[in-house]
Amino acid sequence: MTEPLIVIERLSREYSSGDSTVVALDHIDISIAAGEMVAIVGASGSGKSTLMNILGCLDRSTSGSYRVSGREVASLDMDELAALRREHFGFIFQRYHLLNELSAIGNVEVPAVYAGLSQHDRRAKASAILDRLGMAGRLEHRPGQLSGGQQQRVSIARALMNDANVILADEPTGALDSRSGEEVLRILHEINAEGRTVIIVTHDMAVARRAKRIIELRDGVVISDQPNHSDLSIAPIPIEDRSTARSPAKPAAPWRASFGRFREALRMALLTMNAHRLRAFLTMLGIIIGVASVVCVVALGAGSQERVLANINSLGTNTLEIFPGKDFGDTRSTKIKTLVASDARVLGQQIYVSAVTPTVSTSVTLRFGSIEASAQVSGVGEEYFAVKGTQLAEGTFLDADSVRSFAQDAVIDDNARKALFANISTSPIGTIILVGRVPCRIIGVTRQQQSGFGSSANPTIYLPYTTVQARFLGDVSLRSISIRVNDSTSTDFAEQAVTGLLTQRHNAKDFFILNTDDIRRTIQTTTGILTLMVAAIAVISLIVGGIGVMNIMLVSVSERVSEIGVRMAVGARQNDILQQFLIEAVLVCLIGGLTGIGLSLGFGVVFNAFDVGFRLIYSTTSIVAAFLCSSMIGIAFGYMPARNASKLDPVTALMRE
Ligand code: ADP
Ligand code: MG
């Protein structure tokens, strides 16, 4: 003879609280065959619920044996127990334990989600069962919109959803008025008539007498176990549509099933966030601010760096500038007259120098006809344009001849051309203008240049330095010498060589050298370091945001302990619970992250609209990094609360209200 469906042998369950232990079940033996309808009765505290929880694999015995279909339950791990609950047991609770965020049909679908039924099959089956239980018009109602009796019918439908062969009902009529209670009992009878095993726990003998067998517990011991001959059990009303209700819907393919569970977890997370909008938003705020500040700071850093480097580059690349004096702050530098044209000439003979030019400067007023403009006069050598990389728009440069002969030839820049020749469409080449009181012939016009340090729309005119020294300054000392270093030589080496050469010539180091490469490097590293520092501070705010997420997730888990219990009772794996809460945490962070990125881009638009001298440059790296960072934070800080949730004991979770 085969073993009955449920066999309990010498099973005990003890609770230890502090030093004392309470024996809730004391060496009981029960066996229940498939298709029975059993009532377990007893006074409050006699161990009924404890027995029920063990039967439903929500709880484990302390000692003894419990076998379902011949399988020893004690040897199963958590996920195998979950599978057993999913496939064999349906729970009906005294307080229904429905999920308030879900509609009636949504609640009924939950077990099938964990069983891996496709969404379509799930819907169809859930609505068929609800139909059958007389809930056809209430599919989309929330538990709060249903009466107690209706809620209990939803909970019965949920118990039937996975075609459980054992229905466990703990005081199913306890919270109902007598008519609704009667209705529920009638349904349980129908279920039993379909061939399912029904086990009802009750303290009410009137309810117990409706079963076909009554097991009575007292202080954890079975005191009687008899068939019930009183003929109060109602004849089951024929069920019209058994085929749809019991049609074994095929579970979807494994990957589809896990995708379905993922989608369901996502939906739950969205529902929960929607139910606690303000809380979710405040939690996100930390992430939003963190991400927005990281992205903005990096963009600001990149933007200002670009601006400064553009200024440096306008000085020319690979160039050295030699000035008299100790450094820029040296007030006596104008009195130092040792930097002269012969220095430039000697430097020009060095192998590492590709071009060199002396420079002197002054300001004058330019006159052409009735037009006047104040301008900067640059006295330069013939190689000036080679050193600076200046391009001509038209005409020619100054040549060695014009320098040697103190020629009154001038090259004007684009600003000067605009200032003097705005109304004239013909070329200014060949025109004579007055530079101060010196008439000069224009031989060239430079192309508009990327503006450098402090440069503006100020007109500039280039004359041979010899001319400027003789006609304007009356002095042979130079303001500076600019060198373009050979491409094959490093500027650092050239700087050393120039220092050595000039120190020897002057018998003193009465000059200083500006190395544009050096400046560029310094600026790059300093702005890099600054950006890094501020970004680090922003990252700290992200971490603080993450801690906020963790905090809220812990609250959310403890608020929803009983939901977690219900999910476990209907067969959720530990992983399903972990996934659900983790998704919620990651979702908060992702939405926060995206909002943060959006916010910083918006800030950029506003910032760039105001002309503050530089623009924000967003790096894709920083945006992607911020995005990844915020999801990592979601996972990192959401994991602990989610794990706590998944490790909850189903019984304790269910008990907590
Ligand atoms: P019933 O459902 O018949 O009212 P229970 O099965 O809930 O009884 O409880 C049986 C006994 O076990 C009671 O004495 C109760 O105090 C004790 N008990 C139940 N659950 C716990 C628990 N989690 N910790 C300690 N004692 C418990
Ligand atoms: Mg109880």
Residue 480 Cβ contacting ligand 1 at under 6 Å:
no
Residue whose Cα lies nearest atom 1 of ligand 1: it is 45
Residue 44 Cβ contacting ligand 1 at under 6 Å:
yes
Centre of ligand 1 to C-alpha 191, Å, is 29
Centre of ligand 2 to C-alpha 332, Å, is 98
Low-confidence residues of the chain, pLDDT below 50?
A: 235-247, 452-454
Nearest ligand to the C-alpha of residue 44?
1
Residue 45 Cβ contacting ligand 1 at under 6 Å:
yes
Residue whose Cα lies nearest atom 27 of ligand 1: it is 15
Q: Hey, what are 5's tokens?
A: 């469906």
Q: Hey, what are 458's tokens?
A: 């100020």
Nearest ligand to the C-alpha of residue 174?
2
- How many CB atoms sit inside 10 A of residue 429's CB? 13
The candidate with the shortest Cα–Cα distance to 96, out of 29, 188, 169, 145, is 169
CB 425 within 8 A of CB 457: no
Residue whose Cα lies nearest atom 16 of ligand 1: it is 45
Residue whose Cα lies nearest atom 5 of ligand 1: it is 47
The pLDDT, as a whole number, for residue 29 is: 94
Centre of ligand 1 to C-alpha 42, Å, is 12
Residue whose Cα lies nearest atom 7 of ligand 1: it is 49
Residue 49 Cβ contacting ligand 1 at under 6 Å:
yes
Residue 44 Cα: closest atom of ligand 1: 4
Residue 310 Cβ contacting ligand 1 at under 6 Å:
no
Residue 42 Cβ contacting ligand 1 at under 6 Å:
yes
Q: What pLDDT digit, counting tens, does each position of 80-92 carry?
A: 999 999 999 999 9
The pLDDT, as a whole number, for residue 249 is: 55
User: How far from 199 is each of 150, 207, 440, 468, CA to CA, in Å?
Assistant: 21, 12, 114, 112
Enter the DSSP assignment of 136. Answer: G
Residue 15 Cβ contacting ligand 1 at under 6 Å:
yes
Residue 4 Cβ contacting ligand 1 at under 6 Å:
no
Residue 46 Cβ contacting ligand 1 at under 6 Å:
yes
Q: Round to whole Å and give the CA distance between 123 and 125.
A: 6
The pLDDT, as a whole number, for residue 450 is: 55
The candidate with the shortest Cα–Cα distance to 514, out of 488, 464, 479, is 479
The pLDDT, as a whole number, for residue 7 is: 94
Which residue intervals of 570-619 are DSSP H helices? Answer: 574-609
Centre of ligand 1 to C-alpha 201, Å, is 14
Nearest ligand to the C-alpha of residue 46?
1
The candidate with the shortest Cα–Cα distance to 25, out of 269, 217, 156, 172, is 217
CB 318 within 8 A of CB 517: yes
Q: Hey, what are 371's tokens?
A: 């037009």
Ligand 1 pocket, mutate which of 19, 50, 649 (most atoms under 8 A from CB): 50
Residue 174 Cβ contacting ligand 1 at under 6 Å:
no
Residue 354 Cβ contacting ligand 1 at under 6 Å:
no
Ligand 1 pocket, mutate which of 17, 41, 49 (most atoms under 8 A from CB): 49
The pLDDT, as a whole number, for residue 157 is: 94
Beta-strand ranges (E) seen in 127-202 are 166-170, 197-202
Residue 47 Cβ contacting ligand 1 at under 6 Å:
yes
Residue 259 Cβ contacting ligand 1 at under 6 Å:
no
Residue whose Cα lies nearest atom 24 of ligand 1: it is 15
Centre of ligand 2 to C-alpha 44, Å, is 7
CB 94 within 8 A of CB 170: yes
Nearest ligand to the C-alpha of residue 219?
1
Which class does domain 35-55+90-252 fall in?
A: alpha beta
Amino acid identity of residue 365, one-letter, is: T
Residue 42 Cα: closest atom of ligand 1: 3
Centre of ligand 1 to C-alpha 651, Å, is 11
Place of tokens 């009154």: 408
Residue 53 Cβ contacting ligand 1 at under 6 Å:
no
Place of tokens 């004096």: 325
Residue whose Cα lies nearest atom 14 of ligand 1: it is 45
Q: Round to whole Å and give the CA distance between 332 and 150.
A: 97
- Beta strands 197-202 and 392-395 are unpaired
The pLDDT, as a whole number, for residue 246 is: 45
The candidate with the shortest Cα–Cα distance to 343, out of 480, 186, 251, 196, is 480
CB 220 within 8 A of CB 59: no
Nearest ligand to the C-alpha of residue 43?
1
Residue whose Cα lies nearest atom 26 of ligand 1: it is 15
Q: Round to whole Å and give the CA distance between 128 and 126.
A: 5
The pLDDT, as a whole number, for residue 449 is: 65
Q: What pLDDT digit, counting tens, does each position of 510-521 carry?
A: 888 888 777 778
CB 364 within 8 A of CB 374: yes
- How many CB atoms sit inside 10 A of residue 352's CB? 16
Q: Round to whole Å and give the CA distance between 54 and 48.
A: 10
Q: Round to whole Å and give the CA distance between 532 and 540.
A: 12
Residue 552 Cβ contacting ligand 1 at under 6 Å:
no
Kindly write down the DSSP assignment for every residue of 420-486, as one continuous string: HHTT--S--TT-EEEETTEEEEEEEEEPP----TT--S--EEEEEHHHHIIIII---B-SEEEEEEP
Centre of ligand 1 to C-alpha 28, Å, is 16
The pLDDT, as a whole number, for residue 127 is: 93
Beta bridge pairs of residue 168: 91, 199
Residue whose Cα lies nearest atom 21 of ligand 1: it is 15
CB hemisphere CA count around 163 (13 angstroms) = 14
Residue 17 Cβ contacting ligand 1 at under 6 Å:
yes
Residue 13 Cβ contacting ligand 1 at under 6 Å:
no
Centre of ligand 1 to C-alpha 467, Å, is 109
Residue whose Cα lies nearest atom 23 of ligand 1: it is 15
Nearest ligand to the C-alpha of residue 170?
2
Q: Round to whole Å and give the CA distance between 557 and 381.
A: 79
Enter the DSSP assignment of 326. Answer: S
The pLDDT, as a whole number, for residue 1 is: 54
Q: What pLDDT digit, counting tens, does each position of 315-339 carry?
A: 666 888 898 887 776 777 677 788 8
Q: What is the pTM of this model?
A: 0.71
Place of tokens 């050598």: 381
Domain boundaries, the chain: 35-55+90-252, 273-309+522-655, 337-509
The set of residues, in sequence order, having a beta carbon less than 8 Å from that of 537 and lying 6+ positions away, is: none
Centre of ligand 2 to C-alpha 66, Å, is 20
